[in-house]
Structure 1
């Protein structure tokens, strides 16, 4: 048995050994890109480009708002809205995408509405949501959920209809029913598309959130940047932008980690 399994296991071990240096190289390139970006930023600030604040000045402002708790409160308020809206949008989008891809009747009923609302930017719905639902948390979360839903549902739908028919036919030949085919073939094959849709939806959620907070909010990163704009407080605006970018990047990396766990059976470059 050893002579049979060893050759099969050898390529797997070699692939794992190659993956570790590849990840280290990728992290090194990420660090280089970060340093180059900060260096370019400092250079432009030193040249006095439109009063652009430098990294040191922004770092000092970040330390100030961290010290008095302002940044923590704003970040938690925005993060809570994004998480609630994003979770609601994706929780609705994944089943809807599966239904549209698996059942022709559901596709005929749902797809026209999905395509219709996709042509309307979520930002355009914010004034209507505020007029109808007020200026509380509900309209913000619903608009964020809509942005995440529209991004994820199309990706899930494409994942389902893009499943290789050979896999489905092979499962049917082996005696699998629709439920087994759906859970064992369609869902795993669609996972990468779902994650891509969730990543796009996450970006849409953050963009929609900031716009909603600019219009009506008492706390949040978008609200704080709007207040800073009134007083031409560029360092505070940069602190808000960087915080949003860092939080969004961390959430995106968590989605990638989940995708690797769920789609570990797939070949990767």
Structure 2
């Protein structure tokens, strides 16, 4: 017998689907996946490091040049530098210069980038100068730096500061420019003023770009270190490498390269840790 058109059709209730156990929920699976990816990346770091050392050793052996340093020679020079203390002195001097130039550059680049991205007048006044000096290598500015600042510590820090500032200000400016207008318009519809929009929308949305700029600025700071220490530096890794070049001490040159690369890598990892904590809301692959 067919049901009446005016009455709803009653259906037998289906049994409820049991909830999956907590260990297999989607929230738990990504954590295990992230942990597995981190472990695999760590193993890849170790593997590529060992492979690089092996290739270096093979090339040094095949070259058959007495000046080509081999890994054992560099390890011996590194041990001598740590035991005698000269490597520690050079490292501390260079680390202080890089840290001072990098911090000053970032502290000035972030507000300058915000101004360029938020105000058209500031963009018109600052962007031409930023783009102009970005194309000039810091090494070319050393004679002018000597004329205006002399050969003291301020001149060395300024060269590093300039490299860090020019790298970070562009990333900050681009971060402000790339903020989705939908967020800004939605905040205005809800009654937010410009100050609130800037603090609650623009700054959080620009934070990932700022950290990218900071990482690039850190690399530029270390890359400019050797050029900065051309300014009659008494100590520093760049100065050590220049002196070693004059006396054909190639093992010490490699020690300087290893120290710069290691310190730069460690500082970059610290920036990544801070970035992950401050941008935990961001979805990443």
Q: TM-score, normalised by structure 2?
A: 0.89
Name the residue aligned to 1:86. 102
Name the residue aligned to 1:151. 167
Name the residue aligned to 1:20. 35
Question: Greater shift after overlay, 126-135 or 87-96?
Answer: 126-135
The CA distance in 1 between the partners of 2:194 and 2:249, in whole Å, is 59
Q: Report 1:68-217 matches (<5 A).
A: 68-217=84-233
- Please state if 1:61 is matched with 2:80: no
Q: By how many angstroms is 1:49 displaced?
A: 5.0
Which structure dedicates a bigger proportion of its chain to helix?
1
Name the residue aligned to 2:272. 256
Name the residue aligned to 1:244. 260
> Which of 13, 33, 58 is the matching residue for 1:43?
58
Question: For 1:127-161, what per-residue CA distance to the aligned partner results, in whole angstroms no more than 9, with x for missing partners?
Answer: 21122211110001111111100000000000000
Structure label with greater radius of gyration: 2
Q: Which runs of 4+ in 1 moved over 6 A?
A: none
CA RMSD of aligned residues (A): 1.9
The CA distance in 1 between the partners of 2:152 and 2:41, in whole Å, is 43
Please list every run of 5 or more consecutive structure 2 residues that lacks an aligned counterpart in the other structure. Answer: 1-17
Name the residue aligned to 2:46. 31
Q: By how many angstroms is 1:214 displaced?
A: 2.9
The CA distance in 1 between the partners of 2:230 and 2:165, in whole Å, is 22
Question: For 1:73-117, what per-residue CA distance to the aligned partner results, in whole angstroms no more than 9, with x for missing partners?
Answer: 000000000000000001000000001101111111111111121
The CA distance in 2 between the partners of 1:233 and 1:215, in whole Å, is 21
The CA distance in 2 between the partners of 1:49 and 1:189, in whole Å, is 55
Aligned in 2, Cα 1:39/1:267: closer, same or farther, shift over 3 Å?
Answer: same
Q: By how many angstroms is 1:42 displaced?
A: 1.1
Aligned in 2, Cα 1:49/1:89: closer, same or farther, shift over 3 Å?
Answer: farther
* Number of equivalent positions: 265
The CA distance in 2 between the partners of 1:102 and 1:12, in whole Å, is 38
Please list every run of 5 or more consecutive structure 1 residues that lacks an aligned counterpart in the other structure. Answer: none
Q: By how many angstroms is 1:240 displaced?
A: 0.4
Question: Greater shift after overlay, 220-229 or 206-215?
Answer: 206-215
Q: TM-score, normalised by structure 1?
A: 0.94
The CA distance in 2 between the partners of 1:81 and 1:91, in whole Å, is 15
